Amino acid sequence: MPDQSPLLSLSKLSLRFKGQPVCAVEDVSLSVAAGEILCVVGESGCGKSVTAMALMGLLPPGAAEIHGGVMTFDGQAFDLTKDRVPSDLRGGRIAMIFQEPMTSLNPVFRVGEQIAESVQRHSGCSRGDARLRSLEMLRCVGLPSPERLLDQYPHQFSGGQRQRVMIAMALANDPRLLIADEPTTALDVTIQAQILNLIRDLQRDTGMGTIMITHDLGVVADVADTVAVMYGGHIVESGPMTEIFENPQHPYTIGLMASVPRLSGPRQRLTTINGTVPSIRQMPSGCRFRTRCAFAAETCSTRPAQAEVGPDHSVACHFAPLEQMLKVAG
Ligand SMILES: Nc1ncnc2c1ncn2[C@@H]1O[C@H](COP(=O)(O)OP(=O)(O)O)[C@@H](O)[C@H]1O
Ligand SMILES: [Mg+2]
């Protein structure tokens, strides 16, 4: 059972990009415990990556203004509006993997050197020990003949192998927290499943907390303990994974669910989501989902507060819980 005290918590992160009329991410709170996988899910453009970058102190300098947000990691609190996230956390106690490994692997260095360099930077160990650790990690992520691979360059690997190398590099310093931003999106389906299984197995072995960012509810069903659903820079629903799948309460979550098989029981098609995520310049006031919501009413022009609809299950919708609405809608 995961330890319940959060390893990382983020409270009310709000940030706005220069020149944009509204915050790209607004009042986003989430938390993840050691040994737990939190999936942050939502369509493209909902603010998932930007939230992760803010946590890591990786937002492009000068491009975004953080208006609020406190991150607590391992008992240490950082006011993200003014404190810098210490660089020794990044790649050390907090590791990150991205969608496209080629953007984080340097094409001109052998992969063994790249993993070893990261190990040496964070642990200060000898070159020899760092090389041994690299070898151990390549073996641990299931790459064949790791001795030979140490001396190869990133372009000599397939997409799936490169993602394994990235995972080896991310986990080489025994992070307490892994942030994985769409780590399987660029891979084909069978490789996706292998990489997800690998991350889940390593996560169980090490007890690290994990924030998995995805737009794919299949990934959520495969790996999540808890889920935060993002829409238009807001968290619209969050709760335990089974609760989100079996008892979704936000019209956006329900819409997302309509496109994937249910975990169990008869498949119900409640609604589908028309249209696309509005651009930041066209973002409606109040509930940002209201321009696409089948239940939208006048009251939705004011922003709904988060309401508890069950244990650890909260929803930001004026009509939550939705049972009454669904009866009316038939
Ligand atoms: N460097 C940037 N400058 C301006 N706007 C940005 C920048 N990066 C992201 N955004 C905007 O922030 C919003 C959220 O983007 P992002 O976090 O990448 O979405 P997701 O990861 O959920 O697909 C989008 O509206 C996007 O256009
Ligand atoms: Mg993204």
Q: What is d(CA 246, CA 269) in angstroms, rounded to the nearest whole number?
A: 13
pLDDT of 227:
98
3-state secondary structure of 16: strand
CB of 280 closer than 6 angstroms to any ligand 1 atom:
yes
Radius of gyration of the chain (CA): 21
Q: Which residue, judged by its Cα, is nearest atom 14 of ligand 1? A: 47
Cα torsion 123, 126, 128, 129: sign: negative
CB of 50 closer than 6 angstroms to any ligand 1 atom:
yes
Residue among 13, 15, 16, 17 whose CB has most ligand 1 atoms within 8 A, to mutate: 17
Residue 36 in tokens: 């737990």
Q: Taking Cα atoms as reference points, which of 186, 140, 184 lies closest to residue 165?
A: 140
Expressed in angstroms and rounded, the spacing between residue 48 Cα and the centre of ligand 1 is 8
CB of 40 closer than 6 angstroms to any ligand 1 atom:
no
Asked if residue 180 lies in contact with residue 212, where contact means CB atoms within 8 angstroms, the answer is yes
pLDDT of 102:
65
Q: Taking Cα atoms as reference points, which of 328, 321, 324 lies closest to residue 249?
A: 321
Supply the mean pLDDT for the chain.
Answer: 90
Distance, CA of 43 to chain centre: 12
Expressed in angstroms and rounded, the spacing between residue 3 Cα and the centre of ligand 2 is 28
Residues 24-66: tens digit of each pLDDT: 999 999 999 999 999 999 999 999 999 999 999 889 888 999 9
Classify residue 130 by its DSSP letter. H
Expressed in angstroms and rounded, the spacing between residue 53 Cα and the centre of ligand 2 is 10
Q: What is d(CA 275, CA 248) in angstroms, rounded to the nearest whole number?
A: 20
Question: What ligand 1 atom has the least distance to the C-alpha of 230?
Answer: 22
Q: Does residue 4 have a pLDDT over 90?
A: no
Asked if residue 221 lies in contact with residue 260, where contact means CB atoms within 8 angstroms, the answer is yes
CB of 239 closer than 6 angstroms to any ligand 1 atom:
no
CB of 21 closer than 6 angstroms to any ligand 1 atom:
no
* End-to-end alpha carbon distance in the chain: 39
Q: Does residue 87 have a pLDDT over 70?
A: yes
**Domains and their CATH numbers in the chain:** 6-224 (3.40.50.300), 229-329 (no CATH)
| Mean pLDDT calculated for residue range 87-93 | 84
**Residue 213 β-bridge partners:** 40, 181
